[in-house]
Amino acid sequence: MKIARDEMSFLINSFLLAFIFLALVTFAQVHGEYKSVTKGVIVEITPPWDTIDSGVAECVVDAVKYAEEINAVLIYKVNSYGGYLDSAFTIGDAIYYSRVPAIAYVENKALSAGTLIIIPADVIVLQKGSIIGAMKPVIVNPVTGEVTFVNESKILEPILGKVKVYSENKNRNISLLTEFIYDAKVVDSDTAVSSGVADFVVNDYSQLYELTKGMVIEKRGVVYAIDLNPANVEVFTCSIRSRVLSILSNSYLANALLSIGVLAAIFALASGKIAVLPIALALVLLGLISTGINPNMLSFFFILLGAILLAVELFILPGFGFVGISGIILITLGFALLPAYIPAGISPREDYIMALRAFIFGTAITLGSFFGLVVLKVVQVRKKKPVSYTPEGKEGFAIEDIKPGVIGFVKIEGEYWRAVSNSYIKAGERIVVLKLREDGVLVVDKK
Query: Worst-scoring range by mean pLDDT, 118-127, 188-197, 295-304, 374-383?
Result: 374-383
Query: Worst-scoring range by mean pLDDT, 25-39, 40-54, 226-240, 319-333?
Result: 25-39
Residue 89 has pLDDT above 90, yes or no: yes
State which of 75-79, 220-224, 340-344, 443-447 shows the largest mean pLDDT: 75-79
For the stretch 169-182, pLDDT in tens is 888 999 999 999 99
pLDDT of residue 183: 93
CB atoms within 10 A of CB 168: 10
pLDDT of residue 360: 56
Residue 149 has pLDDT above 70, yes or no: yes
More confident residue, 377 or 226: 226
CA distances from 211 to 40, 169, 203, 245 (A): 14, 21, 11, 35
Q: How confident is the model at residue 18 (pLDDT cuts 50, 70, 90)?
A: very low
Rounded to two decimals, what is the model's pTM? 0.65
What domains can you pick out in the chain, each with its CATH number?
Answer: 31-238 (3.90.226.10), 241-383 (no CATH), 395-446 (2.40.50.140)
Query: What is the mean predicted confidence (pLDDT) over 128-142?
Result: 87
Residue 349 has pLDDT above 60, yes or no: no
First vs last C-alpha separation in the chain: 153
Q: How confident is the model at residue 25 (pLDDT cuts 50, 70, 90)?
A: very low
Residue 426 has pLDDT above 70, yes or no: yes
Residue 295 has pLDDT above 60, yes or no: yes
Quick check: helix, strand or coil at residue 415?
A: strand
Mean per-residue pLDDT of the chain: 81
pLDDT of residue 384: 66
The answer to whether 228 and 215 are in contact (CB under 8 A) is no
pLDDT of residue 94: 95
pLDDT of residue 249: 84
Query: Worst-scoring range by mean pLDDT, 74-78, 245-249, 285-289?
Result: 285-289
Query: What is the mean predicted confidence (pLDDT) over 284-309?
Result: 79
Give the C-alpha separation, 442 to 410, whole Å: 9
Which runs of E-coded beta strand occur in 191-293?
200-202, 216-219, 222-226, 233-235
Query: Worst-scoring range by mean pLDDT, 11-25, 216-230, 242-256, 361-375?
Result: 11-25
Residue 320 has pLDDT above 70, yes or no: no
Query: What is the mean predicted confidence (pLDDT) over 92-117?
Result: 95
Give the C-alpha separation, 353 to 341, whole Å: 9
Give the C-alpha separation, 106 to 121, whole Å: 12
pLDDT of residue 32: 53
Q: How would you label 370-406 residue by residue, b for 16+ Cβ within 10 Å and e otherwise?
A: eeeeeeeeeeeeeeeeeeeeebeeeebebeeebeeee
pLDDT of residue 298: 79
pLDDT of residue 29: 46
More confident residue, 403 or 346: 403
pLDDT of residue 347: 41
